[in-house]
Chains A and B, each alone.
Chain A
Amino acid sequence: MERSSILDHVNVPVVDTARSKPFYVAALAALGVRVVMDFGDERGSSVAFGAGEIPELWVGDRLTSYQTPADRARITPLHVSLRARSRAEVDAFHAAALSAGGRDLGPPGLRSDGYPAGYYAAFVLDPDGHNIEAVFRGRDEDDIG
């Protein structure tokens, strides 16, 4: 399925990088995504994930220069969806995320109600309440449609 991508990288602000990193390491390994960079200084730390050499998903408690401490006093839960390469990867992501302490927000399955046909996804809340999704949009061997 040909899909252009406009997203180069995004960050996910968290309260405690040390708390969040194990969750993301475990959940994203199921998608073939790994740590590609660790960064830290006196303002905090961030860990970057990717499938190749490019960091695409930054997770960290580091106070960036465009934020004030007040901005970081509470963290707005946000939504990030990651591409799985099969339905099995979506399943594995969900299981791994729950094992790593995530809270279920939607078990693996086909989504209807406004989603494109064949949209197979799972949703988990991370330690800060961010809504992290894995989705596979292609056809699969178990796609009987």
Chain B
Amino acid sequence: MPVLSDPILDHVGVAVSDLARSQAFYEAALEPLGITALTSFPGGCALGRGTHPELWLAAGKAGYQTRESRAIITQQHVCLKARSRAEVDAFHAAAIAAGGRSYGAPGLRGQVHPTYYGAFVLDPDGHNVEAVFHGPV
């Protein structure tokens, strides 16, 4: 397992086409990870664990975007930290039940490092959402 440093990421935005649809998906998929919706704003909401909103879903056009640049949504990849392999499994099952498409069943990804245990799901806009647990069992 690689050396883990203090995280460099504070928060990220994910462009969605239908906030209600996406919020329902993310709330269901991420609940097993202990991640819930913490705040909302016009056209968006933010999810996190505890009190820190880290994942911002936004259906509206932000000030740095143009209508043209929001006409399509470029699929992003966002990987979230699970706290156990069981949480990775539960994330995948919940996401599928909420309408996500499986993009990789829960399991070890040894090409990353020997105890990398991840699962992948495509959200309603096709974003590739992953949960990972790095530690040993």
Q: Tell me the A residues contacting B by CB distance below 8 Å.
A: 3-13, 31, 33, 49-54, 56-58, 64, 66-67, 70-83, 105, 125, 129, 131, 133, 135
Contacts and interface: CB of A to CB of B under 8 A. Distances in A.
A53 B116 CA distance: 14
Interface of B: 2-15, 33, 35, 47-50, 52, 54-56, 62, 64-65, 68-81, 103, 122, 126, 128, 130, 132, 134
Contacts, number: 152
A6 B74 contact: no
B69 A77 contact: yes
Given A7-B7, A57-B9, 16 more contacts: A5-B9, A6-B49, A9-B9, A9-B79, A51-B6, A56-B7, A67-B74, A67-B126, A71-B74, A71-B75, A77-B62, A79-B13, A80-B12, A82-B10, A83-B8, A83-B10
Contacts of B49: 4, 6
A35 to B, nearest CB: 13
A51 B8 contact: yes
B128 A129 contact: no
Nearest to B34: A6
Contacts of A125: 64
Contacts of B54: 5-7
